[in-house]
Amino acid sequence: MSALGRVRVRPVTHSGRPAETDKRRLRREFISVRSRLTADDLRETATELAERALELPELAHARVVAAYVSVGSEPGTLALLDALRARGVRVLLPALLPDNDLDWGTYFGQDSLARVQHGSKMALFEPGGEHLGPDAVTGADVVLLPGLAVDARGMRLGRGGGSYDRVLARLERAQARPALVVLLYDSEVVERVPAEPHDRPVHAVVTPSRVRRFPES
């Protein structure tokens, strides 16, 4: 049994603390659980995650998908990116800007990725070649979002950098309506996570074992 099967994160309690305080605590707990995953866990779940995600009708009909390259113990995305590209889907990947906003470039395969170190932050794998500007994401049919958890309302807990809050705000300003899908491990679908006024729900979560939709989104 993997670390994700053995360890459970405590649910959010109504402590009266601000939502951001609860978010910080939960982030630490989810990251701690992920840190216990083995290389075998990561390989197995990446394959299963790709299989589940490819079952989504939204991805079956998508022409442009905005995604990301997983790093560290995040649910693996490379198998999914390559499968989408093999279908003829144009895959956009983010490049982190100095202000934490995201630029975008086209994915041309794993050999086209550049490892970029952003100061003391974790190194990211970003698209090489031409960057298309932050507004390129508004042309996506599906946006695949990283996260640490999602709750029964479809509210996503991110890492706290704010990059994808900017993406979601940009989509809203452009009146773009892509399907929003978060990629997680099974144990990261929880009853409730703290939410703030700027947070926006996703339409679906994909884990290695299932797809769950949030039609109220």
Domains of the chain: 18-91+106-114+135-213 (3.40.50.10420)
pLDDT of residue 48: 97
Averaged pLDDT score across all residues of the chain: 90
Residue 15 has pLDDT above 90, yes or no: no
Residue 75 has pLDDT above 50, yes or no: yes
pLDDT of residue 14: 40
If we measure between CA atoms, which residue out of 142, 131, 140, 146 comes closest to residue 95?
131
Residue 2 has pLDDT above 70, yes or no: no
- Does an H or E element contain 29, and which? helix 19-35
Crossing angle between the packed helical segments 78-86 and 39-53, to the nearest 10 degrees: 30
Classify strands 179-183 and 142-145 as parallel, antiparallel or unpaired: parallel
> What is the average pLDDT across 110-124?
88
Residue 12 has pLDDT above 70, yes or no: no
Place of tokens 């099967």: 5
What gap in Å lies between CA 136 and CA 103, rounded to an integer? Answer: 8
pLDDT of residue 199: 86
| Contacts (Cβ under 8 Å, ≥6 apart) of 96 | 102, 103, 116, 118, 124, 126, 163
Answer for the pair 206, 185: CB distance below 8 angstroms, yes or no. Answer: no
Choose between 148 and 123: higher pLDDT. Answer: 148
The model's confidence at residue 8, banded by pLDDT at 50, 70 and 90, is very low
Answer whether 0.85 is exceeded by the pTM.
Answer: yes
C-alpha distances out from residue 156 to 3, 26, 82, 85, 91, Å = 22, 12, 25, 26, 22
The model's confidence at residue 43, banded by pLDDT at 50, 70 and 90, is very high
CB environment 56-91: b (16+ within 10 A), e (fewer):
bebbeebebbbbbbbeebbbbbbbbbebbbeeebbb
pLDDT of residue 7: 39
The model's confidence at residue 4, banded by pLDDT at 50, 70 and 90, is low
Residue 17 has pLDDT above 60, yes or no: no
> What is the average pLDDT across 33-55?
96
In this structure, what token pair is assigned to residue 198?
A: 């700027």
If we measure between CA atoms, which residue out of 86, 94, 101 comes closest to residue 124?
94
